[in-house]
């Protein structure tokens, strides 16, 4: 264990590591990763909505009255709207569930602190 806590010498100056990772740093790292993942998933959802909406709209315009193509386009547009509505409604629903249960689900740092330190 003494070797693990020994100064790193030149590596310390290059990489900037001057202390071992403690629980607080690890909790902040986990909270940051969770927040970033939620943000990235939200952006991916918005981009998927845009992609499906544009493709569905272009298919609708180029269907030339073909009922099968119109139905396919309508399905794509409907699915795009359902997906973005689910994404938009998920955060408030999760917040309400967290409030009812007394758990800060949308605040990962506080949640991790409660789980680790209690």
Confidence at 105, pLDDT banded by 50, 70, 90: confident
pLDDT, mean of residues 95-104: 85
Residue 19 has pLDDT above 80, yes or no: no
Structural domain contains residue 17: no
The tens digit of pLDDT for each residue in 27-39 reads: 677 777 878 888 8
User: Are the beta carbons of 21 and 95 closer than 8 angstroms?
Assistant: no
Confidence at 85, pLDDT banded by 50, 70, 90: very high
Confidence at 56, pLDDT banded by 50, 70, 90: very high
Pick 42 or 3 by higher pLDDT.
Answer: 42
Percent of the chain whose pLDDT exceeds 90 = 40
Which of 118, 88, 114 is closest to 31 using CA atoms?
A: 114
Lowest mean pLDDT among 5-19, 45-59, 81-95: 5-19
Q: How far, CA to CA in Å, does 52 sit from each of 15, 19, 49, 105, 116?
A: 44, 48, 5, 30, 41
Structural domain contains residue 27: yes
Give the DSSP letter of residue 4: T
Structural domain contains residue 68: yes
Domains identified in the chain, total number? 1
Lowest mean pLDDT among 22-26, 27-31, 45-49: 22-26
Torsion of CA 60, 64, 70, 72, to 10 degrees: -80
Structural domain contains residue 10: no
Residue range(s) defining the domain that contains residue 79: 22-117
Structural domain contains residue 8: no
Which residues have a Cβ under 8 Å from the Cβ of 50 and sit 6 or more positions away? none
């Amino acid at each position: 264990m003494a070797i693990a806590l020994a100064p790193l010498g030149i590596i310390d100056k290059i990489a900037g590591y001057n202390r071992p990772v403690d629980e607080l740093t690890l909790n902040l790292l986990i909270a940051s990763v969770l927040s970033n993942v939620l943000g990235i998933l939200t952006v991916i959802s918005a981009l998927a909505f845009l992609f499906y909406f544009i493709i569905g709209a272009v298919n609708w315009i180029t269907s030339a009255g073909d009922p099968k193509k119109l139905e396919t386009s309508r399905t794509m547009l409907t699915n795009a709207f359902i997906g973005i509505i689910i994404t938009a409604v998920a955060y408030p629903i999760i917040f309400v569930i967290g409030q009812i249960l007394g758990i800060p689900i949308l605040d990962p740092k506080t949640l991790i602190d409660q789980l680790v330190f209690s």
